[in-house]
Amino acid sequence: MLLAAALFPAAAFGQGGPRIVSGAGLVDYRHPEQLKTGMWTRYIIRETGGGVTEESQQMVSVAGFDTLGSEKGVWIETEYKDSGGVPRYCKTFVSLSIVGADSGRGTFQEVVPEYARRVLSMDRPGAQIEELNMPVVVNMSRKARPNPNAQTELTEQRDSLPSTEVVTVAGKFQCIPDRRRRDFRAVVNSNGVRRLHEQHEEIVAYRSDAVPLTHIVRQTHKISTRDSVIPQGAPDTWQPPFPFAVSLREAILIKDGLDAKSAFPADAKTVPFGRPPASPEDTTRQR
């Protein structure tokens, strides 16, 4: 998964916009004994690109603990409000076998898809609840088959920056910024035409143990991309004469607490994900 897809809520898009928005990847699972039902954090999300800035809000909370099959896990609930203030809800069951999975692999944001076992989605309180069951993913380490028509370069770097103070409406926090960079360049030869794709990403997470659940006070994600056709006779190291297109995503903590209530009823009835809104004759199954 690219960092671009892992920073903020993972979204599955359908007609009319995002259908599932889950903030389960923001949770710090290193010490599951510190996760308590009702614990929550709320962020304002700003996305800027092409001269346009949009704002939304995301609240992540612990909705309880459960066992699915033989796996113990935690339900992470997300309330997402778009720029128009329209709420959507998602409840993700994350296996606690995720503990330790971030070691050497970046962050939990990148590994949550391997440990999410079930997702419930609801457009508004009282609306139809869709259910998506996720298969267990076995992460197999193997070399990808090289593409003889592509030359690729990928460099990644992760480091911690000096401690800094971050002030939001939630308060003043002393943070340790964690920075990740990824630079990707590819030259693809297709029928004699060479195409260049470049992408640079930088994520900086300002972390503080004073923030429950996520330990994130502020997080920025800058993505720079550039695509072009390489002129005939130019070397593969050729650089386009135009700048990168830049987009910026930012999450800022605005509040946290310990009194969250689930938007999903305890006796929730569900239908398979993607089914049209239920008719009176439709039969659903009760969880």
pTM of full prediction above 0.85: no
Domain-wise residue ranges, the chain = 3-139+256-286, 150-249
Tokens 């009702």 correspond to 38
Q: 3-state class of 233 per DSSP? A: coil
Q: Residue 135 has what DSSP assignment?
A: P
Of residues 44, 251, 253, 79, the one with CA closest to residue 169 = 253
CB 76 within 8 A of CB 8: no
Q: What span, in angstroms and rounded, lies between the C-alpha atoms of 81 and 123?
A: 10
More confident residue, 239 or 14: 239
State pLDDT tens for residues 222-249: 999 999 999 999 998 899 999 999 999 9
State pLDDT tens for residues 122-164: 988 888 999 999 877 655 444 455 677 788 999 999 998 999 9
Supply the pLDDT for residue 236.
86
CB 29 within 8 A of CB 99: yes
Q: Is the pLDDT of residue 208 over 50?
A: yes
